[in-house]
Chains A and B, each alone.
Chain A
């Protein structure tokens, strides 16, 4: 049985090394000790909470450290059992080691802390091949399993297949993939092949406000009629990882939702990059949807973390709507995604359209 000091170490977030085979037992004993300490007001008051299994793939030490920070922020709103799989670069030495710690947050205004456990499993060399078998027994039963794969999961086919078969959701970020465009067809194949799992691209999540602002234009009936007459979609993007891919995905989304054939999409979607010195010129910068009678514009505001949406159309209000961008750090994007459980069929349609457009190598959607 662990001591009170070990519980204190665990709850304060300090990692404790543990044998991989003993992880479950150690955690069980620590939580049992925590529940006993609840009866003593002098002790730290802890409640263990878990709504899902959260498996995180980390390919470098930097990614592992980042993942710990993200899990700490995330568990404030989304309590889970976090299992960090750290894949080491040292191919010569085969090693599998583990540690456990907790992320605790004060619940409301009370003194009680809501705590979630974090398990880190580090594998190097041949042990990487056995990571899957180390993870599966650690998944809490009857709870969904969500995998956040930092980096490109297509490059680790064995581990990907092992994890995706037991996962309800796979979250990844094509913006962080080096040269993602050639791999989109493989991505689409993986999505089709593993239809039980819900695939979520954080690049798509980053487009959330842009999609919302565009959708809001056409909630009113007199504007909606214009949707059938759009003759041009101008998307301008700036610098930053994945900015160009997101701009293409956005254009593809509009084309897919409006049911355009690929040839129409190719002719009507215009992409351009603006590379100026302004520090805010990263990611998506502006979108214009043009018809013969109206222009619907969304622009990222210079120097502000906000976008403005304007309608230029007879009998329409010309005042800009201003909306703050949702935070785009990984913890916020993940939190936003974890708030929804529904499968996002729209992303699949946008991705298919993007792939079809990329095949038309001479079009504006090509890199």
Chain B
């Protein structure tokens, strides 16, 4: 009788990450942009790094007829264009391509799912995928419910009670467009999948700098003692985009800036910045801490939206010296649209750590530049020592976490200007990822896909996080529905003048990232 080892002794020192087990990944919406630009290049990158399972298969599920080889050839072009490993390594590609298959079916066709089941069983035998499944919903959200129901009805989903077989589903954003629709989608998912089998993706969480928020806060003793209402004056989270809605006018007009960016990405950033130290770096523990933050956010009631929010819509203007149309002139956008393309919010987190500290969230399209950052602005020091000598008021310290571009961390502090007089000037200590670690970080989707194959949901969002977030957003939307139209702002500016007045009322100002 053989002795079974509980751990793999050859693994010691080879890699800190466990190799994922066998798996077949089924991508619904396999001919779409997301698959070609992000998912398959990320999978190829994982293959290149040797991080895919030994027994692995990718099945593209889509409506258009094509052969396996046609599909592989199209994906090769995408990988050549979008992979971070250039040029393609022929040996890696050949091996990777052998794992790619195409399955043509309408999303609502039962026979298509039965045939998918047959193909997956065949791959279990031929490629050793061992019955393990990872379904990826990369379709339009209108298809989600139908696909989930068909997966369940056609016996393609194994219960989470069978630990020997893994079956998971990744759901792309948007996860609902209101609390009610998110709950409905959660119910549909829960009818077929257990919560531990559901991976709600938010690609922001796969970004290195976002993961670094936890490292910065909890691996450095100098920050955490200051991370509270005693020392922090306010926090600004900015996600600015220079692009307009491009060819997404039809979709965007039904969504708007609040649903498209704030409900998911910005609420996740807020949770990570504000959460209490987790007791372990484990998925459930971190989700618990993030949910506590979301539960502590003081709701904005519909009659308070004028006081706590500003919304705007971009008008024509110019970007990088070229004229650009206004939102209402964009393709597939109604000329009388009331959809916001800019939003500024003031939120309070009613807990011991953050009582009285406003969190300002700002997001917009057609702003002067594309940038995402979190700025923790500390309280101004008492001016007793320098008020008489210094001509300008002291600038408070700020800690800025830049998420894109130029990921990094900067600290603003005051220093004496050399000379006989006591003049103080703010200076910036700047750490750039690109400068310190090179610029070859993995793409967000690489990390997230790898984690999903492994079954690690730390960087995904849990049901209660999504629903808590929608609860906050729904109340704001209800208030906006009864309010005047969004304020127009010229493309290429930092939003409507009302947004400036909004923060100036509090004696503060927006950062210029």
Name A321's contact: one of B9, B18, B95, B438 (CB within 8 Å): B95
A-binding segment of B86-94, B189-197, B252-260, B278-286: B86-94
B-binding segment of A89-97, A151-159, A298-306: A298-306
Residues of B within 8 A of A221 (CB): 4
Q: Give complex CA distance A114, B50 in Å.
A: 30
Residues of B within 8 A of A258 (CB): 9-10
Interface check A47, CB cutoff 8 A: yes
Interface string of B74-112 (1 = CB under 8 A from A): 000000000000000111101100100000000000000
Interface of B is mostly: loop
Q: What is the chain A residue whose CB lies nearest that of B8?
A: A218
Q: Give complex CA distance A322, B54 in Å.
A: 9
Interface string of B415-446 (1 = CB under 8 A from A): 00000000000000000101111111000000
Interface check B5, CB cutoff 8 A: yes
Most buried by B among A108, A209, A226: A108
Name A49's contact: one of B5, B54, B127, B435 (CB within 8 Å): B435
Interface check B497, CB cutoff 8 A: no
Residues of B within 8 A of A323 (CB): 50, 92
Interface check A346, CB cutoff 8 A: yes
Query: Do B92 and A254 touch (CB < 8 A)?
Result: no
Q: Give complex CA distance A217, B50 in Å.
A: 13
Query: Do B4 and A224 touch (CB < 8 A)?
Result: yes
Residues of A within 8 A of B91 (CB): 301, 304-306, 322, 324
Name A227's contact: one of B5, B405, B434 (CB within 8 Å): B5
Query: Do A219 and B11 touch (CB < 8 A)?
Result: yes
Residues of A within 8 A of B50 (CB): 209, 212-213, 216, 323
Query: Do B435 and A114 touch (CB < 8 A)?
Result: yes
Interface check B3, CB cutoff 8 A: yes
Q: Give complex CA distance A320, B55 in Å.
A: 9
Interface check A5, CB cutoff 8 A: no
Query: Do A219 and B19 touch (CB < 8 A)?
Result: yes
**Known interface pairs A110-B406, A317-B22; A218-B10 also in contact (CB < 8 Å):** yes
Q: Which of A207-245 contact B (CB under 8 A)?
A: 208-209, 211-221, 224-229
Query: Do B10 and A211 touch (CB < 8 A)?
Result: yes
Interface check B15, CB cutoff 8 A: yes
Q: Give complex CA distance A259, B5 in Å.
A: 12
Interface check A14, CB cutoff 8 A: no
Most buried by B among A76, A218, A305: A218
Residues of A within 8 A of B126 (CB): 319
Query: Do B2 and A219 touch (CB < 8 A)?
Result: no
Q: Give complex CA distance A20, B331 in Å.
A: 67
Q: What is the chain B residue whose CB lies nearest that of A229?
A: B2
Interface check B128, CB cutoff 8 A: yes
Q: Give complex CA distance A211, B11 in Å.
A: 8
Q: Give complex CA distance A204, B126 in Å.
A: 35
Query: Do B438 and A77 touch (CB < 8 A)?
Result: yes
Q: Give complex CA distance A49, B95 in Å.
A: 40
Q: What is the chain A residue whose CB lies nearest that of B9?
A: A257
Chain B interface residue bracket vs A: 35 or more
Q: Give complex CA distance A229, B3 in Å.
A: 9
Q: Give complex CA distance A109, B89 in Å.
A: 24
**Known interface pairs A216-B19, A317-B128; A114-B95 also in contact (CB < 8 Å):** no
Residues of A within 8 A of B22 (CB): 220, 317
**Known interface pairs A220-B21, A322-B92; A51-B436 also in contact (CB < 8 Å):** yes
Residues of A within 8 A of B5 (CB): 218, 224-225, 227-228
Query: Do A77 and B9 touch (CB < 8 A)?
Result: no
Query: Do B11 and A215 touch (CB < 8 A)?
Result: yes
Interface check A79, CB cutoff 8 A: yes
Q: Which of A26-71 contact B (CB under 8 A)?
A: 47, 49, 51
Q: Give complex CA distance A84, B326 in Å.
A: 58
Query: Do B435 and A211 touch (CB < 8 A)?
Result: no
Interface check A21, CB cutoff 8 A: no
Interface check A107, CB cutoff 8 A: yes
Residues of A within 8 A of B173 (CB): none
Interface check B484, CB cutoff 8 A: no
Residues of B within 8 A of A109 (CB): 405
Interface check A316, CB cutoff 8 A: yes
Q: Give complex CA distance A217, B18 in Å.
A: 12
Interface check A309, CB cutoff 8 A: yes
**Known interface pairs A321-B54, A323-B50, A323-B92; A212-B14 also in contact (CB < 8 Å):** yes
Residues of A within 8 A of B10 (CB): 211, 214-215, 217-218, 227, 254, 257-258
Query: Do B440 and A322 touch (CB < 8 A)?
Result: no
Q: Which of B46-63 contact A (CB under 8 A)?
A: 48, 50, 54-55
Q: Give complex CA distance A108, B128 in Å.
A: 41
Query: Do B89 and A78 touch (CB < 8 A)?
Result: no
Query: Do B55 and A219 touch (CB < 8 A)?
Result: no
Query: Do B13 and A108 touch (CB < 8 A)?
Result: no
Top 10 A-B pairs, shortest CB-CB distance: A317-B128, A77-B438, A322-B95, A306-B91, A346-B13, A215-B10, A317-B55, A114-B435, A304-B91, A49-B435
Additional 11 contacts, C-beta under 8 A, given A225-B4, A304-B90, A305-B89: A49-B432, A51-B436, A77-B440, A78-B438, A107-B432, A108-B405, A114-B435, A217-B10, A218-B5, A224-B4, A225-B5
Between-chain CB contacts (< 8 Å), 9 pairs: A49-B432, A108-B434, A215-B11, A221-B4, A224-B4, A258-B10, A317-B22, A319-B127, A323-B92
